[in-house]
Amino acid sequence: MNGILAIALISVRNAIRSKIVMVLLAFLLITLIGLPLTLQGDGTLPGHVRVLIRYTLGLATLILSIATVWASCAAISTEIRDRQIQLVVSKPVRASQIWLGKWLGLMAINVLFLMLCFVSTYAALRGTTTPDRWSDTEIEQLHTEILVAQYKLAPQPRDVREEVQRQYRAARARGEWPEEIPTQEVLPRIERALRTQANSVPAGSSNRWVFNVPHPPPDDRPLILRYRFSLSVMDLDPVSGSWTIGSLQASHRQVETFEQPPRTWHSVAISPDRIEDDGTLTVEFANHADRTVTVIFQPDEGLHLMVYAGGFLMNYFRAGLLILFHLSFLAAVGVTAGAYFSIPVAAMTSFYALLLINAARFIGRIAEGTASGGHGHAHGPHGGWFQDAIHLTSHLVHRGLYAVIRPLESANPLDYLVVGEWIPWTEVGYMFGVKVVLYSGILMVLGAWHMARKEVALPS
């Protein structure tokens, strides 16, 4: 333990002495001070706060990430280059201790600077959202919509299985689908159509959704219904409509009429006492458009309910933890790469690895694509075994790669913060397990294993 701490301390001092790391950290300071002073936002308070959080913390995280990768790549490789490692390796420390010491040192720097980033951004946030600069309504809006932690609820999905089967039988009976089209191709289409239909409201009619609210918020915290719709026509003219919220008894209803354009987010504040005793909340949308236009809510997240779950600061802290875990993973990648290669090669390797991780979804799609391509013989009879082999290899490579990087895929925690969305502790715990324990651990094993075998005193 003593040895690990000593190495950690040295790794801190090494990082601080790196010119590149210092330049990056200087950038970080400029960002933290300069950016909040020059940000424009869109002239509204929520816009200002969102831009502040997203760009100040986003840029700071980016700089910290680059600095971390660089410093971690340098951590072991420069000591090999400058041969200090020879004195260290000749002492009774295991390779894993050296790795861990380097990693812990970098994490100490990251914790320090991340704290600086989060504290100074919070200070900037407080300093620029004072009542003398913004109206009371805007400040109120800020505190109910952004500076909170709300969890996001989707409406209960409608059970369409029976309806799908019924329509399928009817369509077959009418001969709408030729026999050669297999059932498993038809059913999803019908289901998709039904789901879209369940989220559509034609002119003059209405549609109802039910939310299950497991933990109702305190009485002074309204629920926020956020929605965005598109139209069956190609224009952006506003549509008039109304929301009826709560049960059908008149005393429990809240009616909001509006005239709003499509394709942008709107919200309605709902008093928590509209929630029924069984924990459900019913909302009904009526389309009052005076023209033939159907309102369509995007099935994925065109309509959701934001429910107060806690204060902003704790959420902000959790976002910080998520970023820290990511940095810890980056540090692990860099330290291990530095154990294998010299700095420039290690840095390129690390950045390439990170690029792959960021392209996870793309790689996943390639994996899917090659899966069907391998069997499809789409290229005619001349493809033959050779093409099949290429397809299969490509498929396996991408599948394998995707399997490795998939667990690392995660939403940007800042995306949660800017919409005031609750970051669950489970997410924090999961990311800790994946990025810090599992992946950093695997990287440590790889790095230490190589270091233990490596001859650190080879003549140059």
Partner 1 sequence: MTPSPPQTATTIAEARDLVKVFRDFWHRPKVRAVNDITFEVKRGEVFGLLGPNGSGKSTTIKMMLGLLHPTSGYLRVLDRSPDDVKTKARVGYLAEESYLYPYLTSEETLHFFGRLFNLNAKQREERIDQLLDMIGLQHARRRVVGEFSKGMARRIGLAQALINDPDLIILDEPTSGLDPLGCRQVKDLIRALARRGKTVLLSSHLLADVEDICDRIAILYNGRIQAMGSMHELLEQRNRYRVTLPEELAPDQLQRVLDEIRSVLGAEPDIDHPRLDLEEFFLRIIEKARNEVESQSGATPSHTLASYLSAPPS
Partner 2 sequence: MNRIVTVFLPCALGLALLWGAGTLHAPLLEARRVHDLDHAEPLENAPPLVVFSTVALGGFSGIIADILWVRAAQLQMDGQYFELVQLADWITKLQPRFPEGWIYHAWNLSYNVSVMFPRPEDRWRWVRHGIELLRDGGLRYNPAHPTLHRELGWLFQHKLGASMDQAHMFYKLAWALEMERIFDGRGPDYAALAQTPTSRTAVLQVPGMSELLAQLREEGFEPFTYRWPETHRIPVMRNIMRDHEAGSVLLNHIRLRMMVDRYRLIPSRMQEIEAEHGPLDWRLPQAHAIYWAWSGLPHADGFEEQMMSRMIFHSVSEAFQQGGFFYDPDEELFIPGPNPDLLPYAMRALEEALEEFDDDAMRAAHMNFLNNAMIIMYTHHRIDEARNLFDLLHTHYPAEAEDRGFDQYVIELFTDRLDQLGPQGVSAMIDEWLHQSHFWLALGDTDRAAGYDRLARQTWRLYMEPRLHDPDLRERTGLPPISDIRRRALERVRESLTTQTARDRLRNGME
| Binding positions for partner 1, rule: CB under 8 A | 2-3, 5-7, 9-10, 13-14, 17, 82-84, 86-94, 452-453, 455-459
Q: How far apart are CB 424 and partner 1 at their closest, in Å? A: 40
Distance of closest approach, residue 135 Cβ to partner 2, in angstroms:
11
d(C-alpha 267, C-alpha 258), whole Å = 11
List Cβ neighbours of 345 (8 Å cut-off, separation of 6 or more): 337
Question: CA of 140: how far to CAs of 131, 147, 222, 266, in Å?
Answer: 10, 10, 12, 16
Partner from partner 1, partner 2, none binding residue 94, C-beta < 5-8 Å depending on class: partner 1
Q: Which is nearer to partner 1, 81 or 379 (CB)?
A: 81
Name the binder of 238 from partner 1, partner 2, none, CB < 5-8 A by kind. Answer: partner 2
**Residue 302 CB, nearest approach to partner 2 (Å):** 10
**Interatomic CA distance for residues 377 and 383, integer angstroms:** 7
* Sequential DSSP letters for 181-196: S-HHHHHHHHHHHHHH
For the CB of residue 270, give the shortest distance to partner 2 in the complex, in Å.
19
Q: How far is the CB of 156 from partner 2 (least distance, A)?
A: 24
Separation between Cα atoms, residue 362 and residue 150, nearest integer Å: 30
**What residues pair up with 208 in beta bridges, in sequence order?**
284
- The site partner of 50 among partner 2, partner 1, none (C-beta below 5 to 8 Å per kind) is partner 2
Task: Compare residues 191 and 256 and give the one whose CB is closer to partner 2.
Answer: 256
Tokens encoding 241: 């409509």
Torsion of CA 185, 188, 189, 194, to 10 degrees: 160
Residue 10 site contact among partner 2, partner 1, none (CB < 5 to 8 Å, cut-off depends on kind): partner 1
Nearer to partner 2, 259 or 276 (CB): 259
Nearer to partner 1, 17 or 375 (CB): 17
Cα–Cα distances in Å, from 40 out to 37, 138, 410? 9, 16, 29
How many beta carbons lie within 10 A of that of residue 189, not counting itself? 14
Which one, 2 or 38, has the nearer CB to partner 2? Answer: 38
Q: Which does 51 bind (CB under 5 to 8 A by kind): partner 2, partner 1, none?
A: partner 2
Q: How far is the CB of 32 from partner 2 (least distance, A)?
A: 16
In whole angstroms, the minimum distance from the beta carbon of 317 to partner 1 comes to: 33
Residue from 275, 255, 262, 268 nearest 225 by CA: 268
42 binds, among partner 2, partner 1, none (CB under 5 to 8 A by kind): partner 2
- CB distance 53 to 417 below 8 Å: yes
Is the Cβ–Cβ distance between 125 and 55 less than 8 Å?
no
* Residue 33 vs 457, nearer CB to partner 1: 457
Of partner 2, partner 1, none, which one sits near residue 41, judging by CB under 5 to 8 A according to partner kind? Answer: partner 2
Nearest to 218 by CA among 146, 144, 113: 144
- Choice between 41 and 272, CB closer to partner 2: 41
88 binds, among partner 1, partner 2, none (CB under 5 to 8 A by kind): partner 1
Q: What CA–CA distance (Å, rounded) separates 339 from 342?
A: 8
Per CB under 8 A, residues contacting partner 2 are 38-44, 46-47, 50-51, 54-55, 228, 236, 238, 258-261, 263-265
